[in-house]
Amino acid sequence: SGPWMCYPGQAFQVPALPGCRPVLKLQCNGSKVPEAVLRDCCQQLADISGWCRCGALYSMLDSMYKEHGVQEGQAGTGAFPRCRREVVKLTAASITAVCRLPIVVDASGDGAYVCKDVAAYPDA
């Protein structure tokens, strides 16, 4: 396993994490996330390699914006009407930490719990 498994167009396709979408929306709007909803999201993330979890979260966030017609760099957050874009990105980046699922940060195998790369995407 390694980071090459996660790139779009490769044999391994990252799912859009349907179970994590409600977690992101609820957390971002300041609502309590029901335990069963969080458990579903964490299980879906746990099934993904630690190399790919952040990419999967980014892919989920990207698809949520595209479903609501938000273009890259466009102001407004149709998927998250009461949540600033920066908050949405930081919330998505922290889902791995909420689930207590480690991610692999780089080729040395160093791990972390918060996806710094998700928060760094300017168009997410």
Q: Is residue 5 part of a domain?
A: no
How many other C-beta atoms can be found within 10 angstroms of the C-beta atom of residue 110? 9
Boundaries of domain holding 102: 19-120
pLDDT digits (tens, 9 = 90+) for 70-96: 655 444 456 777 788 888 888 899 999
**pLDDT of the residue at 73:** 47
Which of 6-10, 28-32, 95-99 is most confident?
95-99
Q: How far is CA 19 from the centre of its chain?
A: 11
Read off the pLDDT band of 38 (50, 70, 90).
very high
**pLDDT of the residue at 9:** 47
Please give the tally of structural domains in the chain.
1
Q: Is residue 2 part of a domain?
A: no
Q: Cα–Cα distance between 73 and 111 in angstroms, integer?
A: 30
Q: Is residue 4 part of a domain?
A: no
Q: Which of 6-15, 51-60, 73-82, 100-109 has the lowest mean pLDDT?
A: 6-15
Whichever domain contains 91, its CATH number is 1.10.110.10
Q: What is the 3-state secondary structure (H, E, C) of 106-124?
A: CCCCCEECCCHHHHHCCCC
Q: Is residue 37 part of a domain?
A: yes
Q: Is residue 13 part of a domain?
A: no
Give the residue-averaged pLDDT of 3-31.
73
* Residue 22, Cβ density class (10 Å: 0-12 exposed, 13-18 middle, ≥19 buried): middle
